[in-house]
Structure 1
Amino acid sequence: MWTRHHKKRRLGRAVVPLMAVAFLSYFGYHSIHGGYGLKATEEFDRQIAERQAQLDELTQRRKVLEKEVELMSDGSLERDMLDEKARLALNMSRSDEIVIFHSSSN
């Protein structure tokens, strides 16, 4: 019966460690630069902070609008509020008045 004996080669010993290094390099790179990696997490955190600031601003604006609606719809209209809204909508004022526009009012 014939048997073959293979000589151990250096390349054969290095295949498994080289494959392990390749896999670790691949997953290491994507854990930092990938879609859910460290850099993407920093970008997500930045977006969360921006959107939270926008939400706070919109919440404040909504409170102001709700207060204006409450003043106009409680059964009796506030005369000053009605006058202010009418003048703003019609873009009119009397000749003896000074009009000051705030950037928060639309």
Structure 2
Amino acid sequence: MLTIQKRKSYLGRLVVPALTSAVLAYFATHAETGQYGSEAKAALQRQLAERKAEFAELTARRDALEHRVRAMKDGTLEKDMIDENARRALNVAREDEIVILR
């Protein structure tokens, strides 16, 4: 009886590792540059830092406005604050006053 044996080539042994490497390279590339990748995370971190700075600025502005409102509430009315707001709203000055425009 005659048997035919095939010799395995070296290229046949490299097919599976080559395909595996290609698939891993594909996923590694998308992990770095994809929509949810490392670069997108860095961009989101920069945007978060900008928004936090804007939030801190708005919070400080709100605190200043709340302080002014507290100064104008009943029981704690300051004559200077009322006089300042009335003059600014009516655009009025007395004859003996000097007005300095900024």
TM-score range, shorter chain: 0.7 to 0.9
1:22 aligns with 2:39: no
CA–CA distance in structure 1, aligned partners of residues 47 and 13 of structure 2: 48
Supply the RMSD in Å over aligned alpha carbons: 2.5
1:81 aligns with 2:76: no
Q: 1:14 to 1:80 in 2, by over 3 A?
A: same
Q: Which residue of 2 aligns with 1:97?
A: 99
Tell me the number of residue pairs that the alignment of Structure 1 and Structure 2 aligns: 97
CA–CA distance in structure 2, aligned partners of residues 72 and 80 of structure 1: 10
Shift of 1:11: 4.7
Q: Which residue of 1 aligns with 2:52?
A: 52
Q: Which residue of 1 aligns with 2:40?
A: 40
What letter corresponds to residue 33 of structure 1 in structure 2? T
**5+ long unaligned stretches in structure 2:** none
**5+ long unaligned stretches in structure 1:** 101-106
Larger radius of gyration: 2
Shift of 1:9: 4.9
Identity %: 46
What letter corresponds to residue 51 of structure 1 in structure 2? R
CA–CA distance in structure 2, aligned partners of residues 39 and 21 of structure 1: 23
Q: Which deviates more, 46-55 or 70-79?
A: 70-79
CA–CA distance in structure 1, aligned partners of residues 88 and 49 of structure 2: 35
Shift of 1:36: 1.9
After TM superposition, the score normalised by the length of structure 1 is 0.73
Shift of 1:47: 0.9
